[in-house]
């Protein structure tokens, strides 16, 4: 993980950086926000930014958003001052870490925020076969197209290929082509010069240059506009890119991995994807099977997610009952591994005692609302009554109750709810403006237990 620290490295924040280094992070430092932004624009990427709570967090978040640099921000401050923590979160930080630093807390927060856990847990022969192929092709420089339904783990497979390749120590840069508006994706990929368009306040290095000598992942590439596909094809063929507003091409050495949940041959046949680009990308295709087609993976994945979420919630010795495991194995898993992870996360939080039983497992199409646990008294988890309320009212209560249950931890609450941290933050700002009391980090647990 690449960690960028903004602030003086002396004192407690320096100790925090040493902990991060000891846990395998690559740490860089900027004295102030301007220096940090200059580094990011120059292509020195970061997976997480850690900033002194005394600096202008809101200003940093605003700059990142205006320049479309998507990096989570974590604030640090001396002591356990809830007021400082609340101000940091309201300013846009995703988490707050009190100093002096606790090694386990820093590791847990950084991993949760960056979501950096690239293990591929498997036992089923179908997945073993796929991983063997991925390991074999990882040694080459060939482009690889990873295909599979949503939630199967396509980005994890791409990271596996990078980590097994000769480029493993070089950058791995992922770009989600579906998340970035069409008119912005070109500048995100290829960068731009100062003054190239309104808002281009400085030169910005694109993802291709950031990934130079390493690997770039074009996630959900089938969503890319045809016009931009032509420019991407040229970048692949000529090994060079053109910054917007630039006067000369820039050479790049990048291995390209791409993913899609669509039938790419059908996309080509119907004119939505260039055939020549498809052939350039499709040197090797890796098809990830659905979770329902690799049933032997359900148990090890379930146990892995139980351990993960029990640890992050301070619950020791959590296990799953045989009856609950049978319930999991009989489910079709339309949402694949992502659905299983969310199911287990809820199960950990709703379990009575140290064992997850069938009553704590709530599945799509099993009689309960998706993502909503139904209690024996007919209420949803957290005591939300559905009848007579609008969808917006139910959503608000579910979000606030989940945040309360997670003791104000935004990252954990977003994971349980199945939404991004940015979406959660926007919802909470909206509720605060409406006069709703929003649990601050470290606060919560005031609701009756489920």
Average pLDDT of the residues of the chain: 85
> Is 191 in the same domain as 219?
yes
Domain tally, the chain:
4
> Is 448 in the same domain as 332?
no
What are residue 145's DSSP bridge partners? 258, 285
- Report the pLDDT averaged over residues 428-434: 85
Q: Where are the alpha helices (DSSP H) in 174-241?
A: 182-190, 207-210, 226-238
| 154 close to 261: Cβ distance less than 8 angstroms | yes
Per-residue pLDDT, 37? 94
> Is 33 in the same domain as 151?
no
Prior bond to 440 cis, omega within 30?
Answer: no
* Residues with Cβ within 8 Å of residue 209, at least 6 apart in sequence: 43, 191, 241, 250, 252
> Is 146 in the same domain as 214?
yes
Q: What is the CATH number of the domain that holds 25?
A: 3.40.50.2300
Using the 8-state DSSP alphabet, how is residue 240 labeled? E
Alpha-carbon span 376 to 368, nearest angstrom:
12
Alpha-carbon span 107 to 157, nearest angstrom:
24
- pLDDT over threshold 70, residue 148: yes
Q: Which domain range does residue 17 map to? A: 2-114
Which position has the token pair 């390749």? 165
- pLDDT of 51-61, one tens digit each? 998 899 999 99
- pLDDT of 190-207, one tens digit each? 999 999 888 788 899 999
Residue that terminates a domain, selected from 289, 315, 347: 289
Using the 8-state DSSP alphabet, how is residue 192 labeled? B
From the list 427, 442, 342, the residue with the least C-alpha distance to 109 is 442
169 pLDDT band (50/70/90 cuts)?
Answer: confident
> Is 167 in the same domain as 280?
yes
- pLDDT of 201-234, one tens digit each? 889 999 999 999 999 999 999 999 999 999 999 9
- pLDDT over threshold 60, residue 444: no
| 172 close to 218: Cβ distance less than 8 angstroms | no
From the list 328, 334, 337, the residue with the least C-alpha distance to 299 is 328
- pLDDT of 291-313, one tens digit each? 999 999 999 999 999 988 887 77
Residue that terminates a domain, selected from 371, 399, 414: 371
> Is 153 in the same domain as 109?
no
- Report the pLDDT averaged over residues 11-21: 77
- Report the pLDDT averaged over residues 366-390: 46
- pLDDT over threshold 50, residue 168: yes
Strands 2-6 and 26-30: parallel
Rounded to two decimals, what is the model's pTM? 0.69
- pLDDT over threshold 70, residue 155: yes
Using the 8-state DSSP alphabet, how is residue 360 labeled? G
Q: What is the CATH number of the domain that holds 334?
A: 1.10.8.60
- pLDDT over threshold 70, residue 318: yes
Which position has the token pair 């890319």? 224
> Is 42 in the same domain as 9?
yes
What's the first-to-final CA gap in the chain, in angstroms?
36
3-state secondary structure at position 256: strand
- pLDDT of 88-113, one tens digit each? 888 989 888 888 777 777 777 776 66
Q: What DSSP assignment string belongs to 27-95? A: EEEESSHHHHHHHHHTT---SEEEEETTS-HHHHHHHHHHTT----EEEEEES--HHHHHHHHHTT-SE
> Is 277 in the same domain as 209?
yes
181 pLDDT band (50/70/90 cuts)?
Answer: confident
Which position has the token pair 């379990």? 351
Alpha-carbon span 445 to 405, nearest angstrom:
5
SS (H, E, C) 259-276: EECCCHHHHHHCCCCCHH
- Over pLDDT 70: what percentage of the chain? 88
> Is 185 in the same domain as 331?
no
Q: Which has more pLDDT, 392 or 40?
A: 40
- Report the pLDDT averaged over residues 322-331: 95
Number of residues that make up the chain: 450
Orientation angle between helical segments 33-41 and 57-66, nearest 10 degrees: 20
3-state secondary structure at position 176: strand
> Is 224 in the same domain as 277?
yes
| 55 close to 6: Cβ distance less than 8 angstroms | yes
Degrees, nearest 5: CA angle 142-222-162? 35
**Domain contains 260:** yes
**Domain contains 120:** no
- Over pLDDT 90: what percentage of the chain? 49
From the list 348, 356, 352, the residue with the least C-alpha distance to 313 is 348
Q: Tokens standing for 374?
A: 């139904």
> Is 175 in the same domain as 224?
yes
From 138-147, 175-184, 287-296, the region with the lowest mean pLDDT:
175-184
| Four-point Cα dihedral 301, 303, 309, 314, nearest 10 | -170
Per-residue pLDDT, 114? 63
Alpha-carbon span 245 to 204, nearest angstrom:
11
Alpha-carbon span 125 to 294, nearest angstrom:
8
> Is 391 in the same domain as 356?
no
From 17-31, 103-117, 133-147, 365-379, the region with the lowest mean pLDDT:
365-379
Alpha carbon 190 to chain centroid distance? 22
Using the 8-state DSSP alphabet, how is residue 197 labeled? S
Per-residue pLDDT, 377? 39
């Amino acid at each position: 993980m690449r960690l960028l620290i903004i602030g003086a490295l002396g004192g407690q924040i320096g100790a925090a950086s040493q902990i991060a280094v000891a846990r395998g992070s690559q740490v860089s430092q900027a004295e102030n926000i301007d220096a940090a932004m200059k580094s990011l624009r120059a292509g020195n990427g970061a997976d997480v930014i850690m900033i002194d709570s005394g600096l202008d967090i809101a200003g940093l978040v605003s700059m990142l958003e205006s320049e479309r640099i998507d990096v989570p921000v974590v604030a640090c401050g001396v002591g356990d001052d809830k007021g400082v923590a609340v101000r940091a979160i309201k300013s846009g930080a995703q988490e707050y870490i009190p100093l002096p630093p606790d090694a386990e807390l820093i590791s847990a927060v950084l991993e949760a925020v960056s979501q950096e856990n690239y293990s591929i847990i498997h036992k089923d022969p179908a997945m073993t076969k796929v991983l063997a192929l991925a390991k074999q092709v990882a040694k080459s420089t060939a482009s690889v197209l990873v295909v599979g339904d949503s939630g199967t783990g396509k980005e994890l497979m791409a990271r596996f290929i990078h980590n097994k390749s000769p480029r493993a120590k070089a950058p791995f840069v992922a770009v989600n082509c579906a998340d970035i508006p069409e008119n912005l994706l070109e500048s995100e990929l290829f960068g731009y010069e100062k003054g190239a368009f309104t808002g281009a306040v400085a030169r910005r290095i694109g993802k291709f240059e950031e990934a130079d000598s390493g690997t770039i992942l074009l996630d959900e590439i089938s969503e890319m506009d045809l016009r931009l596909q032509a420019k991407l094809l040229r970048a692949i063929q000529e090994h060079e890119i053109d910054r917007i507003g630039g006067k000369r091409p820039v050479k790049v050495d990048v291995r390209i991995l791409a993913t899609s949940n669509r039938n790419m041959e059908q996309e080509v046949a119907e004119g939505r994807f260039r055939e020549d680009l498809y052939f350039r990308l499709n040197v090797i295709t890796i098809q990830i099977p659905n979770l329902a087609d690799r049933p032997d993976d359900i148990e090890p994945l379930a146990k892995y997610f139980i351990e993960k979420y029990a640890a992050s919630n301070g619950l020791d010795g959590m296990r799953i009952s045989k009856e609950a495991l049978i319930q999991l194995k009989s489910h079709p898993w339309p949402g694949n591994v992502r659905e299983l992870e969310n199911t287990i996360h809820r199960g950990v939080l709703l379990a009575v005692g140290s064992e997850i039983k069938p009553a704590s497992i709530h599945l799509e199409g099993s009689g309960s609302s998706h993502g909503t646990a139904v209690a024996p008294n007919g209420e949803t988890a957290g005591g939300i009554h559905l009848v007579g309320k609008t969808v917006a009212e139910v959503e608000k209560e579910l979000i606030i109750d989940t945040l309360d249950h997670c003791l104000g931890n935004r990252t954990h609450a977003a994971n349980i709810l199945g939404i991004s941290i940015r979406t959660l933050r926007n919802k909470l700002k909206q509720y605060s403006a409406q006069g709703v009391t929003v649990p601050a980090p470290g606060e919560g647990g005031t609701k009756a237990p489920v």
